[in-house]
């Protein structure tokens, strides 16, 4: 049975048949790029693209995403009809942390959607969207999870990365992790439509406990220093600035300034 068939079978153990095409390729540039091209051609909501490896995997803030064999590289298409599209990345982080939990791995989310285990990066999420005068037309949710990636193949990133195979008591198959991510995302999607505050609450409950601690946030406008206060109902990060006042941050990279404890390793 090929990977696509194993994925569909794993999805069936979690709910109804998946409602859209799922394409699992050997190697491609980036699952996000391939799915974005399909989105522009009108492919339906919940269509997915997966790959064994990516040659041009992309991360947040213009970084590359190392994509050796053994990882999950998955992109899924949403065509949201709800307002709070800014919460999709947070929901995706919660989803991956939940799936890690199914394998006995306690994962935490770092704003906006890094997934860490003992301070090491397990997974990342890159969401990309397209809008028109009608609002947001589509969102591609790209998820990369180190499932069984050989640490040595990550080069210098191995220092700050971990994998489900290193952390879990029963190491999962990539197809099963993919099915978990898709199935849990569809559950949280319903919450995004009807009860978005539940998504924020779930995210807070799994966040690294950095609230009230000094941090630096690198944004496109510059570097901001202060203490981390909370996230608001749209998913923006609230920072009490060193020089006074609260700053709402929509996108950026958070670094803890005086790290303490196992969730504190900077990534």
Chain residues binding ligand BTN by CB under 6 A are: 30-32, 54, 57-60, 63, 65, 73-75, 114, 124-126, 142-144
Q: Positive or negative CA dihedral for 116, 120, 123, 124?
A: positive
Nearer to ligand BTN, 178 or 226 (CB): 178
Residue nearest to ligand BTN (CB): 124
Q: 109 has which bridge partners? A: 115, 207
Nearer to ligand BTN, 130 or 197 (CB): 130
Nearer to ligand BTN, 167 or 253 (CB): 253
Least distance in Å: CB of 33 to ligand BTN? 7
Query: Are 208 and 263 spatial neighbours (Cβ–Cβ below 8 Å)?
Result: yes
Least distance in Å: CB of 189 to ligand BTN? 18
Which residues have C-beta within 8 Å of that of residue 190, sequence separation ≥ 6? none
Nearer to ligand BTN, 73 or 111 (CB): 73
What is the secondary structure of 29-53 as a DSSP string?
S-HHHHHHHHHHTTPPTT-EEEEEE
Query: Are 4 and 25 spatial neighbours (Cβ–Cβ below 8 Å)?
Result: no
Least distance in Å: CB of 64 to ligand BTN? 9
Query: Are 148 and 190 spatial neighbours (Cβ–Cβ below 8 Å)?
Result: no
Least distance in Å: CB of 144 to ligand BTN? 3
Nearer to ligand BTN, 30 or 256 (CB): 30
Least distance in Å: CB of 241 to ligand BTN? 25
Q: What are phi and psi of 35, to 5 degrees?
A: -70, -35
Q: Positive or negative CA dihedral for 42, 43, 45, 48?
A: negative
Nearer to ligand BTN, 149 or 226 (CB): 149
Instruction: Measure the CA dihedral 44/96/69/24, to 10°.
Output: -20
Least distance in Å: CB of 77 to ligand BTN? 12
């Amino acid at each position: 049975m090929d990977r696509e068939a194993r994925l569909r079978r794993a999805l069936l153990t979690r709910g109804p048949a998946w409602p859209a095409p799922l394409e699992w390729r050997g190697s491609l540039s980036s699952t996000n790029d391939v799915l974005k091209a399909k989105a522009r051609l009108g492919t339906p909501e919940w269509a997915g693209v997966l790959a064994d490896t990516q040659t041009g995997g992309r991360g947040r803030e213009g970084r590359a995403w190392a994509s050796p064999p053994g990882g999950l590289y998955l992109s899924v298409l949403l065509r949201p009809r709800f307002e709070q599209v800014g919460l999709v990345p947070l929901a995706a982080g919660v989803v991956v942390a939940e799936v890690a939990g199914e394998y006995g791995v306690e994962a935490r989310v770092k704003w906006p959607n890094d997934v860490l285990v003992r301070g090491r990066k397990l997974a990342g999420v890159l969401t990309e969207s397209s809008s028109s005068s009608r609002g947001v037309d589509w969102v591609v949710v790209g998820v990369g999870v180190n499932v069984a990636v050989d640490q040595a193949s990550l080069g210098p990133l191995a220092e700050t990365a971990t994998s489900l195979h290193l952390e879990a008591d029963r190491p999962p198959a990539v197809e099963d992790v993919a099915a978990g991510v898709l199935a849990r995302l569809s559950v949280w999607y319903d919450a995004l439509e009807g009860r978005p505050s539940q998504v924020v609450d779930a995210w807070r409950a799994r966040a690294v406990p950095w609230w009230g601690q000094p941090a630096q946030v690198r944004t496109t406008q510059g570097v901001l220093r202060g203490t981390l206060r909370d996230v608001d109902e749209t998913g923006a990060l609230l920072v009490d600035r060193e020089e006074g006042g609260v700053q709402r941050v929509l996108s950026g990279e958070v670094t803890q300034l005086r790290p303490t404890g196992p969730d504190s390793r900077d990534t």
